[in-house]
């Protein structure tokens, strides 16, 4: 009982941070004859001492009645979720969603719930995904309601469902992915009965749209411990339903270190990348590139006469596979493009330590990476997972040297914006040609020359342009 009282006190203390606003809203609903309860993730986060600025409430009021209560009080109102019983408002910088008690019904076939309004708080809590999200604090009285032991599960750091897992996941299969996401976000353990149901019902995830899966997976990858979530997805077979390339890594031997397979290597790379993110928060693009960087290995595996395993050009194959998978998951084109490019470039560094890189090669490395260069630095360093301390130290020293060389060249040249020494207008004027393909060809020639030799003087650039034009029959008479 003492745990309950302490947790209640913590929850109330957190609620006081947004009071009197929350209580004021509760009074407004009460005056109109309706209930109002802080619920779900907001209560969970309040108990964990991390209540944010997005608050979720439930009520017996129907959407039109909720609108009548908040009209003239809220700073802004949006009705995009009205068909699901949700009205959104903004007040004093807080984003608030108020949802009518729900008793959702699913037919086990369609991807979207059939929304049915409920009549009580307990009915609403029963339909929620996990016990830790099935608690409520009534307003303005601050009465705590916990019918499914969510408080105890929160203290034990375990994820369970209010109803039987099979019933919960049968209602909404996305909840299986949410279990893995909460394991990643909260570092909680998933109950064995829940895991068993996830394993048995993994195929039901096929009922869910790619967009909903993508959003949950993105949140998982941005969690505090995505490795726990990823392992759960692979071990239950859920990963095979939407990103099977990850499970496919388990049997492949990593050529950098024979003591682990590529699957384990990949998880370590994700962890390494997270440590290099800095204090700016989760970097989904970097984490996703770390996860996908070796998915081309199964398709490129070869065993030489000496018995050594190789994966030639797996970065090229992996980039293509990454593009296909992220497109299937409906990721935005710009995010997909960045991840694909990082996968494609992640091996470019190897060989630098042998002294083979010219200044031209360094310029091309920077130019090809473009704005992704900081992430490429982190991904390349993260890819070193060998237990051989001398080898790891040598690779780190080599990359330190490369970064120093990039910095030195950057002082002399603007490596981030390598351009030809002559622009399009100058090319047209010197060659006496109108806009068209010849100008583009000449521009690309001069850019390649700039990458190879560094900055040219005006006279040198013009001489090279004239020579190129004569050699290719483009010099005007």
Give DSSP secondary structure letters for 93-144: TEEEEEEE-B--B--SSSSS-B--B-SSHHHHHHTSS-GGGS-EEETTT--E
* 57 Cβ contact list (under 8 Å, min separation 6): 25, 36, 37, 38, 39, 42, 96, 97, 98, 99, 139
Does residue 260 have a pLDDT over 60?
no
Does residue 1 have a pLDDT over 50?
no
Predicted local distance difference test score (pLDDT) of residue 411: 66
Does residue 66 have a pLDDT over 90?
yes
Kindly report the CATH number assigned to the domain that includes residue 227.
1.10.110.30
Same-domain pairing of 132 and 204: no
In a domain, 218, yes or no: yes
Same-domain pairing of 56 and 126: yes
Predicted local distance difference test score (pLDDT) of residue 337: 97
Tens-place pLDDT, residues 105-130: 565 665 555 678 888 999 999 989 99
In a domain, 122, yes or no: yes
In a domain, 13, yes or no: yes
In a domain, 215, yes or no: yes
Average pLDDT, integer, range 2-12: 57
Same-domain pairing of 235 and 148: no
Same-domain pairing of 256 and 396: yes
* Residue-range definition of the domain harbouring residue 307: 247-416
- Mean pLDDT is lowest, of 3-7, 133-137, 322-326, 344-348, for 3-7
Does residue 28 have a pLDDT over 50?
yes
> Of the residues 194, 213, 242, which one is the last residue of a structural domain?
242
Domain count, the chain: 4
Same-domain pairing of 149 and 163: no
> Of the residues 100, 135, 156, which one is the last residue of a structural domain?
156
Predicted local distance difference test score (pLDDT) of residue 417: 56
In a domain, 476, yes or no: no
Average pLDDT, integer, range 347-359: 69
Does residue 354 have a pLDDT over 70?
no
User: Which residue matches tokens 């705590």?
Assistant: 144
Same-domain pairing of 270 and 309: yes
In a domain, 431, yes or no: yes
What CA–CA distance (Å, rounded) separates 194 from 446? Answer: 62
Q: What is the percent of the chain where pLDDT is above 90?
A: 51
In a domain, 477, yes or no: no
Same-domain pairing of 90 and 211: no
Predicted local distance difference test score (pLDDT) of residue 456: 77
Kindly report the CATH number assigned to the domain that includes residue 49.
3.30.460.10
Residues 125 and 147: beta-carbon distance below 8 Å = yes
Same-domain pairing of 303 and 389: yes
CA end-to-end span of the chain, whole Å? 96
- Mean pLDDT is lowest, of 77-81, 246-250, 458-462, for 458-462
Predicted local distance difference test score (pLDDT) of residue 382: 92
- Mean pLDDT is lowest, of 26-30, 45-49, 329-333, 386-390, for 386-390
Same-domain pairing of 148 and 163: no
> Of the residues 242, 263, 282, which one is the last residue of a structural domain?
242
Residue 34 burial by CB count (10 A; 0-12/13-18/19+): exposed, middle or buried? Answer: middle
Residue, of 382 and 394, whose pLDDT is higher: 382
Q: What is the percent of the chain where pLDDT is above 70?
A: 86
Does residue 401 have a pLDDT over 70?
yes
Same-domain pairing of 342 and 456: no
User: Which residue matches tokens 């509760």?
Assistant: 26
pLDDT band at 452 (very low <50, low <70, confident <90, very high): confident
Q: What is the mean pLDDT of the chain?
A: 86
pLDDT band at 259 (very low <50, low <70, confident <90, very high): very low
Same-domain pairing of 407 and 426: no
Same-domain pairing of 345 and 303: yes
Average pLDDT, integer, range 168-181: 95
In a domain, 169, yes or no: yes
Tens-place pLDDT, residues 356-373: 677 777 877 888 888 898
Does residue 14 have a pLDDT over 70?
no
Predicted local distance difference test score (pLDDT) of residue 426: 82
């Amino acid at each position: 009982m003492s745990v309950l009282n302490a947790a209640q006190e913590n929850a109330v203390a957190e609620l006081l941070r947004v009071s009197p606003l929350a209580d004021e809203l509760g009074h407004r609903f009460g005056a109109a004859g309706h209930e109002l309860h802080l619920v779900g993730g907001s209560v969970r986060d309040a108990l964990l001492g991390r209540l944010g600025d997005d608050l979720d409430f439930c009520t017996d009021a129907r959407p039109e009645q909720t609108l009548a209560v908040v009209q003239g009080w809220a700073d802004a109102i949006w009705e995009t979720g009205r068909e699901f019983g949700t009205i959104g408002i903004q007040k004093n910088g807080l984003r608030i969603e108020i949802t009518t008690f729900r008793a959702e019904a699913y037919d086990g076939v369609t991807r979207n719930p059939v929304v049915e309004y409920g009549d009580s708080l307990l009915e609403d809590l029963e339909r929620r995904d996990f016990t830790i999200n099935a608690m409520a604090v009534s307003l303005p009285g601050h009465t705590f309601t916990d019918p499914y032991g969510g408080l105890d599960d929160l203290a034990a750091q375990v994820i369970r469902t209010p109803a039987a897992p099979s019933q919960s996941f049968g209602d909404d299969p996305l909840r299986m992915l949410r279990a893995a996401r909460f394991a990643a976000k909260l570092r909680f353990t998933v109950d064995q009965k829940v895991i068993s149901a996830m394993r048995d019902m993994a195929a039901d995830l096929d009922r869910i749209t790619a967009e909903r899966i993508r959003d949950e997976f993105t949140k998982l990858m941005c969690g505090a411990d995505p490795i726990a979530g990823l392992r759960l997805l692979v071990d239950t077979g859920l990963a095979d339903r939407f990103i099977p390339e990850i499970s496919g890594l388990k049997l492949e031997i990593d050529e950098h270190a024979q003591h682990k397979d590529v699957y384990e290597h990949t998880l370590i790379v994700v962890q390494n990348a997270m440590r290099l993110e800095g204090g700016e928060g989760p970097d989904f693009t970097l984490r996703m590139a770390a996860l996908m960087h070796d998915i081309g290995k199964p398709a490129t595996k070869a065993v030489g006469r000496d018995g050594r395993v190789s994966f030639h050009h797996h970065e090229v194959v992996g980039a293509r596979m990454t593009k296909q998978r992220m497109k299937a998951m409906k990721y935005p084109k710009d995010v997909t493009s960045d991840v694909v490019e990082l996968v494609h470039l992640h091996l470019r560094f190897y060989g630098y330590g042998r002294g083979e890189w010219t200044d031209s090669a360094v310029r091309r490395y920077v130019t090809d990476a473009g704005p992704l260069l900081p992430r490429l630095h982190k991904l390349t360093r993260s890819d070193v997972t060998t237990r051989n301390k001398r080898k790891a130290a040598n690779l780190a020293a080599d990359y330190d040297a490369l970064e120093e060389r990039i910095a030195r060249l950057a002082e002399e040249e603007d490596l981030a914006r390598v351009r030809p020494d002559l622009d399009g207008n100058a090319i047209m004027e010197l060659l006496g040609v109108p806009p068209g393909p010849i100008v583009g060809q000449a521009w690309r020639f001069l850019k390649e020359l700039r990458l190879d030799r560094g900055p040219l003087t005006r006279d040198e650039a013009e001489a090279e342009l004239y020579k190129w034009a004569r050699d290719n029959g483009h010099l005007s008479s």
